[in-house]
Amino acid sequence: MAVVESSPATAAPRTHPETGGTLTIDLDAIEANWRTLSRKLLTAECGAVVKANAYGLGLEPVTAKLAKAGCKTFFVADIAEARRARTRAGDAAIYVLNGFAPDAADAFIELNVRPVINSTAELAEWDAFVAARDWRGGAAIHIDTGMNRLGISADEAAALALRLRHENHGITLLMSHLACAEIADHPLTANQLRLFRELRMLYQGVPASLANSSGIYLGDAAHFDVARPGAALYGINPTPGRANPVRNVVELAGRILQVRKVPQGNTVGYGAAWTARRASRIAVAALGYADGVLRAGGGIDRKSGGAAVVAGMRCPVVGFISMDLACIDVTDLPSGTIHRGESAIFIGEQLPIDDFGAAAGTIGYEILVRLGPRCHLVYRGG
């Protein structure tokens, strides 16, 4: 990963001379988003999903920021992420979403973290392990309520509820995952809510968790005891089709290497995919799909693509984005406005990550987790 620096909330340099791109991550905005979601949850606890390196933005700094803000429950994908989170999360509860791995069993005790049990076979392995080690760390039970990905069945969950008759049943959280919470009025969401509510009644006294980022906006019926926001913490809109209720978190800037003239009728980039319909000026920026700016995010002759902000103006990205470079049509900027060494903003306040994802035919999540492997990283508000 590129050099990382901290920065105050004041404006930081857009680009760094040793890298083509600069990714600025606003930790204060992440905390503000968590607090916004906490207020909407009323009395329910607001946890935080920091898997996938906190959606690509840095598991350690994000976890530290949220733990300091008061977050008490974190969710990671695997033990390796749990190990990193534990260094910043103090005594917080940490749940491992991908469950119990027998080969890494001792790490659950070492780190004091909890598996999310996703099958009855996994539960048997976990029970054998904790019995052998006399461990009382607890585990979550994941019920599949209709996503058909991970989790025990509803019938298995109903049978397992008899376990609560024992004082040391070891279940610290009951959870499921909404498949379509971001799609307004999707019938699967109502079915999942109903089924989870019915099963939760069998687990009296055990905290329950269902709502992801979009699920939070379904109202109190989806909140239960602990919510698990991820994407919304990082600025992705949890309410597609409506104004984004959370703050932008990232800015991605690329250093302009050259501004060149392209005659009318000439093409730009690999595959000659974009043709200049007028005499044009093209700014070539040092960002490409090796930096997470997907190849399909540029405009080609048969469709429009993404955009970049250059000298304060939104300009179209043209031609296929290549591994290291992206081309921007700056013809509408007054001549002499933009020069080599200045910056183009690909994601930021004026260019939400959801919009850039849509231009590339994907979602903001995929763009977010791909950003930054080569970029200079700047953290604000650390």
Residue 270: active-site member: yes
Distance between CA atoms of residues 124 and 92, nearest Å: 26
Nearby residues of 165 by Cβ (< 8 Å), 6 or more positions away: none
Distance between CA atoms of residues 283 and 303, nearest Å: 20
Within the chain, where are the H helices?
27-40, 51-55, 59-69, 79-89, 105-111, 120-133, 154-160, 187-200, 213-216, 353-359, 364-370
User: Catalytic: which of 40, 51, 289, 379?
Assistant: 51
What are the CA-CA distances from residue 148 to residues 152, 179, 196, 208, 278 (Å)?
10, 9, 14, 19, 52
What are the CA-CA distances from residue 377 to residues 12, 272, 292, 337 (Å)?
11, 33, 14, 27
| DSSP-derived secondary structure letter, 136 | -
Instruction: Map residue 271 onto helix, strand or coil.
Output: helix
Residue 68: active-site member: no
| 67, 102 Cβ separation under 8 angstroms | no
User: Catalytic: which of 55, 68, 72, 270?
Assistant: 270
User: Which are the catalytic amino acids?
Assistant: 51, 270
